[in-house]
A and B are shown apart, each in its own frame.
Chain A
């Protein structure tokens, strides 16, 4: 039972750690939503599994996502009006829930993107700085 209790960002059980292996990185809290938004922006409507796979692919299998945690994030985005969802046929003609970016979602993505870039730029500058630059 223990292994089922391994939400993102929290203390992981031994098995989960084994599975994730050292090369993989935990998703930082809050960034998962951004990844979902960007994925939907680029690829159009997708079901939950599709989103999870794309994120895995795009991150080059370097990220560890406990894929179940995607769904609370999706719900949250939907409540915020950033995405809409509807039932639709999946590849093998079963029913799946498809998520689509709304206009508000696109705007949110823009803002988040700008914030993220700004943060990244600032952090980058800190790493580039050398002692003589500050003299």
Chain B
């Protein structure tokens, strides 16, 4: 209490600048006067009495200092003093200060921003309790693709027979037209097992989850999301028990999930949904053995069960399934939900993190360089100050303050940059990154980065000062702070730093170059269709209103005719899938007379149900045979199919595919109706990022039920189609028209995803565009920093060697020679940097491979380009110092020394 009181008083004195000098002086004078009088009384001569009194009182200055120290807070006062001094010093060299702060902020800001994203996406735990115990089950077929989800009938098999999990929950995404909750809308829903909520370990915020009985009995109950509850029901407690219609079927709302609740979704992602209904697999779904590996399964490991044990358990269960469909060559694998969620994002984020760490290193090297140069330049100043009696401690304290000032300014600027970048990241980062919503500045990292750069600053600022402080004061003065052995070793250190910087910059340049080349390659790739001047939209017909195939066909025929009448429209078509959008539908097929290779699994193709002028609207070229015609839609028309070029090559090798037959199903012996191949069209490569060429097969929508034979009921009538409209005019202008026409045809329909085909395409390019753009800007920053570094070193070397240059010139060296020599020095550093950088590139670029498209990690052109750019930049940075060296006036330089 006493101490606190005292501290407060001292603080107040410090802040208000209050000083009791007057009082002290008066007290001391009085003291001396009283003592003098007493001395006189004791018989001393007045003169002597005063002297003795003063002597006894002690040094007035020293007392005053002590008094003042007690009055305020001397430590703080010194700090403020140093701070002022530091600011003055920095103000004297604004160029240095600005460069240092910029360098620091780039390093700190970059690392913090990128790591914040990495943390949010990769490292932060999933929003479930003990999320590390959550696993996802994947089935895969031999010789085909990677791990996929499960087929519907397998979900209950694992649920019933697994011993390793507390429960297994199945799920599949579903879209519903929602009515009875305000304006009708399309809900992004998910059908999930009753076990989903307990497996994830998340309880409803309100109401209850559905029970197993409800799941098994296909009860019409729904659990809604927090945001749906807030938006559509105003967050009312009375939402429970209310009824909403999903595709015109009434469902009772029984629960509301907490805010931000996400469920596993699709392959390798967790996502928010509007609502959840029981999975309740239908009898037709359950019949669909080893087909459509579309049903996700997530499970929680029982306590004490390891991943390996769970895998064994799952393999045991798989044997039950394999007994039923041996030709599927199924395998099962488990993956941690977390690992799986972030898998796809990993290469990109690793690259970004790597790039940004390189930038941080360059920033550190640059800062070190700047401070070394500055400190070397100030050796004379230090020497002078020490000669005038400054304590070594004081000088160090002041330097420390200067470094801290720089670091703080850089840190603050860096954090500002990071905050801006993170804020803006939400908008720019590719939507394919999982868990983007969770990004926020990661403070531990911000502190770490600031600490790292700050430490660099302090170390580089102090080390030379310490060294020069140790050196003989006279020596540093006599030599004018130049050309001592210490100077040479410092020069070597600085050169090494520049070489390092150049190497790192080259590495980033190579990385950026590779991505740029990939991007260019991708843009050159022929997607197999012409996206320009086409508009797409997706239309979903509710099953209740369009129960039969005829009704569906009729609707699309009608809609096609209406769209065709729009001015400028040349072709109109519909497809169950269009390139990029809704790509994930694929099916088993069997080609006539095709003999599987040993061990080969099912044949799978992306399947497209089309109606109207689908091929002409997208300009997918006909290679052989014919497109579909109106005759194919006639009742009882022979079943026909169009296949892609690569499918024809692979499965009808050496034969004319036209006239051959294809069946839907696992093998040709399956009792399915054969479809005759009537045409071969070009391959559609809509997603070059994936790299792998898929096969495509097209069927007329009108023949859907007949094609599938006994399985027709499962796929249904395909009321969800994508319209493709080609126009001679501006496709964007057509978007409103398209909407209007659909509403004319049926005002209750929801038209979604209205966009031009080019927009659709650019959405696939977006992640790559982003990768390319960001790595290029990183490379540019790195290059800038490296140029700054090389400039700094050369500029200082020139100043340092003015005398030497002058002597050379006096002895007959021409200005050209001097300039060449300086440039040569820069080139030597540059070349060394190139050497190290190339070695590093060879070692590291292979980690970029997964982000590249048709470019090898060691692409010669890219490497050469990066080297040229780097050397050109080094030369540019060296030009100014070289000019300055060449313009040295020998007479003046020698005299001024």
Contacts and interface: CB of A to CB of B under 8 A. Distances in A.
Interface of A: 3-7, 19, 47-49, 52-53, 66-69, 71-72, 75-76, 79-82, 90-92, 94-97, 104, 108
22 contacts: A3-B55, A4-B60, A5-B61, A6-B58, A6-B62, A48-B30, A49-B35, A66-B58, A67-B31, A68-B62, A69-B63, A71-B27, A72-B66, A72-B69, A75-B20, A79-B70, A81-B2, A90-B34, A91-B34, A92-B34, A94-B30, A96-B34
A52 B23 CA distance: 18
A104 B55 CA distance: 34
B30 A19 contact: no
B59 A5 contact: yes
Given A67-B57, A79-B6, A79-B9, A48 B27 contact: yes
Contact of B55 (A19, A71, A79): A19
Contact of A68 (B5, B23, B33, B58): B58
B378 to A, nearest CB: 32
Contacts of B770: none
A18 to B, nearest CB: 10
State the 5 A-B residue pairs at the shortest beta-carbon distance, nearest first: A4-B59, A68-B63, A66-B58, A68-B58, A72-B66
B31 A52 contact: yes
B377 to A, nearest CB: 37
Nearest to B2: A80
B34 to A, nearest CB: 4
Interface in B52-103: 55-63, 66-67, 69-71
A72 B5 contact: no
Nearest to B37: A92
A95 B34 contact: no
A79 B31 contact: no
B24 interface: yes
Interface string B18-59: 001001101110110111011000000000000000011111
Given A6-B59, A52-B31, 6 more contacts: A4-B61, A48-B27, A69-B58, A75-B70, A80-B2, A81-B2
B58 to A, nearest CB: 4
Contacts of B33: 94
B127 to A, nearest CB: 54
A53 B27 CA distance: 15
B30 A67 contact: no
Contacts of A97: 23, 26-27, 30
A43 to B, nearest CB: 16
A68 B60 contact: yes
Contacts of B59: 3-7, 66, 68
B10 interface: yes
B31 A76 contact: no
A47 B57 CA distance: 14
A71 B9 contact: no
B26 A76 contact: no
A71 B5 contact: no
Contacts of B28: 68, 71
A35 B62 CA distance: 22
B57 A79 contact: no
Contacts of A108: 2
Contacts of A75: 20, 67, 70-71
Interface of B: 2-3, 5-6, 9-10, 20, 23-24, 26-28, 30-31, 33-35, 37-38, 55-63, 66-67, 69-71
Contact of B6 (A66, A80, A95): A80
B541 to A, nearest CB: 86
Contact of A96 (B27, B35, B69): B27
B30 A4 contact: no
Given A71-B67, A76-B70, A80-B6, A90 B61 contact: no
A95 B26 contact: yes
Nearest to B10: A79
Nearest to A81: B5
A72 B60 CA distance: 12
A97 B67 CA distance: 15
A48 to B, nearest CB: 5
A4 B2 CA distance: 32
Contacts of A5: 59, 61-62
A67 B56 contact: yes
Nearest to A4: B59
A4 B696 CA distance: 101
A130 to B, nearest CB: 42
B30 A71 contact: no
Contacts of A92: 34, 37
Contacts of A95: 26, 30
B20, B56, B69: most-surrounded residue (chain A CB, <10 A): B56
Contacts of A81: 2, 5
Contact of B70 (A7, A49, A72): A72
A92 B34 CA distance: 9
A68 B70 CA distance: 14
Contacts of B61: 4-5
Contacts of A82: 2
B270 to A, nearest CB: 62
A67 B58 contact: yes
A59 to B, nearest CB: 14
A53, A80, A91: most-surrounded residue (chain B CB, <10 A): A80
Contacts of A104: 2
Contacts of A6: 58-59, 62
Nearest to B29: A94
B11 to A, nearest CB: 11
Contacts of A90: 30, 34
A21 B243 CA distance: 104
A126 B30 CA distance: 45
Contacts of B69: 72
Given A67-B57, A80-B6, A49 B62 contact: no
Contacts of A67: 31, 35, 56-58
Nearest to B8: A79
Contacts of B34: 47, 49, 90-92, 96
A96 B30 contact: yes
Nearest to A108: B2
A52 B57 CA distance: 10
Contacts of B10: 79
A47 B30 contact: yes
Nearest to A97: B27
A96 B30 CA distance: 7
A20 B675 CA distance: 121
Contacts of A4: 58-62
A58 to B, nearest CB: 17
B63 A71 contact: yes
Nearest to B20: A75
Contacts of B5: 79-81
Nearest to A104: B2
B66 A7 contact: yes
Contacts of B6: 76, 79-80
A48 B71 CA distance: 17
Contacts of B57: 66-68
Contacts of B63: 68-69, 71-72
Nearest to B6: A79
A52 B55 CA distance: 14
B5, B27, B35, B62: most-surrounded residue (chain A CB, <10 A): B27
